[in-house]
């Protein structure tokens, strides 16, 4: 049995992650942008959290004509509480003891980190992304999904996916424990494209403005659009003759740079909004006819929050917390486990959109 300490791998991995910055920087744009907007997810004492929803303007206004009017006090009672549950997830991977024993330099250690823990993290995050955009991932049934056709069960009880593929006025799903349209503004924006070359840019622009007109100065605009591959390709191809602010980035669609895992391309309306090809969005897997023709999720990441629940058993914060390695029984293999106790919610749905139909030219 080797005398090499397996904990060296955990220590080395932590240093690599510290050098990389945000955990999601190299993995997925939506999660990365949420973290950029809010900072490191806070660690809450409970897996359950409540958050206020005030979609309507909260003020009361009194017009003074004679000076004897009574000032209306308080605010309009348009606020309700939404809630969210964090999901406890643990991914584990094995590292042969011989690989650890053969480490003789920093380069060897980096090679092992890339071979095992970093690949394991990538695999975990890819499944997390698939659950986020489509739902139905068997290993991650409790994590949030944007797909309104799917459900997730963070605390054992089924919850509806966030976005409905319907006009805002007809949406009625209960999301984050609040039924849509039960209070003003609690719905997602929606547009459908009947032939991308004929009206794709128009409908995308309308969806973007539908969100931007909902108090954009306070919470910004949609800044991250996730599209299925065909919708993304149609978007890029249709812009070939369109003069954009950053024409060199549109032309040729350079794809990921060495510094970024997924670069995306600028949105034609300008600003910091980018459109990304999301391989896990599969139009054929949707049941709604319009969604089968392509799906593009438009996220205003300033309206989203991520949080963690501390892992009391191991006194960690639940944010990709690496446990001490332990040896598999009667095997020359060490088992490593990483705890992710994560929750996510949106407190202002009307500043986010879903557009369908972009995969049809």
Domain boundaries of the chain, sorted by first residue: 7-53+76-356
> pLDDT-derived band of residue 247, with 50, 70 and 90 as boundaries?
very low
More confident residue, 54 or 111: 111
pLDDT digits (tens, 9 = 90+) for 198-217: 999 999 999 999 998 866 56
Average pLDDT over residues 4-13: 74
Q: What are phi and psi of 346, to 5 degrees?
A: -120, 130
Q: What are phi and psi of 164, to 5 degrees?
A: -100, 145
The DSSP letter of residue 292 is G
Distance in angstroms between the alpha carbons of the first and the last residue of the chain: 62
Q: Over range 85-89, report the average pLDDT.
A: 93
Query: 15 pairs with which residues across the strands?
Result: none
In this prediction, residue 78 has a pLDDT band, given cuts at 50, 70 and 90, of low
Helix or strand run (H / E) with residue 152: strand 151-152
The model's confidence at residue 251, banded by pLDDT at 50, 70 and 90, is very low
Distance between CA 143 and CA 139 in Å, rounded?
Answer: 10
- How many of the other CB atoms lie within 10 Å of CB of 287? 9
- What contacts 170, CB < 8 A, 6 or more positions away? none
d(Cα 189, Cα 168) in Å, to the nearest integer? 6
What number is the average pLDDT over the span 30-57? 83
Q: For a pLDDT cut of 90, what percent of the chain falls above it?
A: 46
pLDDT above 80 (res 194): yes
pLDDT at 278: 93
> CB-side exposure of 294: number of CA atoms within 13 Å?
27
Asked if residue 20 has pLDDT above 60, the reply is no
Q: Does the 7-53+76-356 domain belong in CATH 3.90.1690?
A: yes
Better pLDDT: 18 or 92 = 92
All residues at 6 or more sequence positions from 190 whose CB lies less than 8 Å from its CB, including other chains: 163, 164, 165, 166, 167, 168, 171, 207, 353, 354, 355, 356
What is the model's pLDDT at position 263?
65
Greater pLDDT, 158 or 47 = 158
Q: Among 30-44, 273-287, 301-315, where is mean pLDDT lowest?
A: 301-315
Average pLDDT, integer, range 187-200: 95
Asked if 273 and 224 count as a contact pair (C-beta separation under 8 A), the reply is: yes
- Residue closest to 302 by CA, chosen among 184, 180, 218: 218
The pTM assigned to this predicted structure is 0.86
- Please, which residues bridge with residue 147 across strands? 163
Least confident of 11-15, 264-268, 310-314, 324-328: 310-314
Distance CA 202, CA 125 (A): 34
Lowest mean pLDDT among 41-45, 170-174, 243-247, 353-357: 243-247
Residue 105 to residues 108, 127, 331, Cα–Cα distance (Å): 5, 33, 25
Centre a 10 Å sphere on the Cβ of residue 331 and count the other Cβ atoms it contains: 11
Q: Looking at residue 105, what is its pLDDT?
A: 82
Q: How many CB atoms lie within 10 A of CB 169?
A: 9
Q: pLDDT category, 55, cuts 50, 70, 90?
A: low
- Per DSSP bridges, beta strands 224-227 and 274-277 are parallel
pLDDT digits (tens, 9 = 90+) for 105-131: 888 888 888 888 888 988 999 999 999
Position 12 pLDDT exceeds 90: no
Question: Distance between CA 17 and CA 26 in Å, rounded?
Answer: 11
> For residue 159, which phi and psi values (nearest 5 degrees)?
-130, 145
DSSP track, 56-79: S--------SSS-PPPPPS--S--
Residue 306 has pLDDT above 90, yes or no: yes
Q: Which residue has better confidence, 58 or 340?
A: 340
**What does the pLDDT read at residue 80?**
86
The pLDDT score that the predictor gives to residue 248 is: 42
């Amino acid at each position: 049995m080797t005398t090499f300490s397996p904990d060296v791998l955990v220590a080395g991995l932590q240093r690599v992650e510290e050098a990389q910055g945000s955990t999601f920087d190299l993995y997925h744009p939506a999660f990365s942008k949420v973290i950029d907007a809010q900072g490191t997810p806070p660690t809450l004492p409970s897996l359950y959290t409540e958050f206020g929803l005030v979609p309507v303007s909260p003020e009361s206004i009194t017009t003074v004509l004679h000076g004897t009017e009574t000032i209306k006090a308080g605010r309009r009672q348009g606020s309700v509480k939404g809630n969210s549950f964090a999901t406890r997830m643990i991914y584990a991977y094995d590292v042969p003891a011989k690989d650890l024993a053969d480490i003789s330099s920093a380069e060897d250690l980096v090679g092992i980190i890339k071979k095992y823990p970093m690949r394991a993290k990538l695999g975990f995050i890819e499944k997390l992304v698939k659950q986020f955009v489509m739902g139905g991932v068997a290993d991650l049934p409790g994590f949030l999904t944007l797909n309104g056709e799917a459900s997730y069960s963070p605390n054992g009880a089924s919850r509806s996916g966030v976005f409905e593929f319907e006009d805002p006025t007809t949406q009625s799903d209960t999301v984050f424990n609040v039924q849509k349209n039960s209070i003003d503004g609690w719905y997602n924006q929606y547009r459908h494209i009947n032939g991308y070359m004929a009206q794709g840019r128009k409908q995308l622009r309308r969806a973007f403005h539908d969100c931007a007109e909902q108090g954009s100065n306070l919470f910004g605009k949609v800044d991250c659009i996730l599209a299925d591959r065909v919708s993304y390709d149609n978007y890029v191809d249709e812009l070939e003759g369109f003069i954009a602010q950053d024409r060199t980035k549109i032309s040729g669609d350079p794809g990921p740079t060495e510094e970024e895992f997924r670069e995306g391309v600028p949105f034609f309306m300008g600003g910091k909004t980018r459109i990304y090809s999301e391989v896990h969005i599969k139009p054929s897997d949707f049941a709604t006819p319009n969604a089968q023709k392509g799906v593009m999720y438009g996220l205003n990441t300033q309206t989203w929050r991520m949080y963690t629940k501390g892992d009391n058993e191991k006194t960690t914060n639940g944010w990709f917390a690496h446990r001490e390695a332990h040896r598999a029984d009667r095997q020359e293999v060490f088992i490593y486990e990483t705890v992710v106790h994560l929750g996510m919610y949106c407190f202002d749905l009307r500043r986010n959109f879903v557009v369908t139909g972009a995969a049809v030219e």
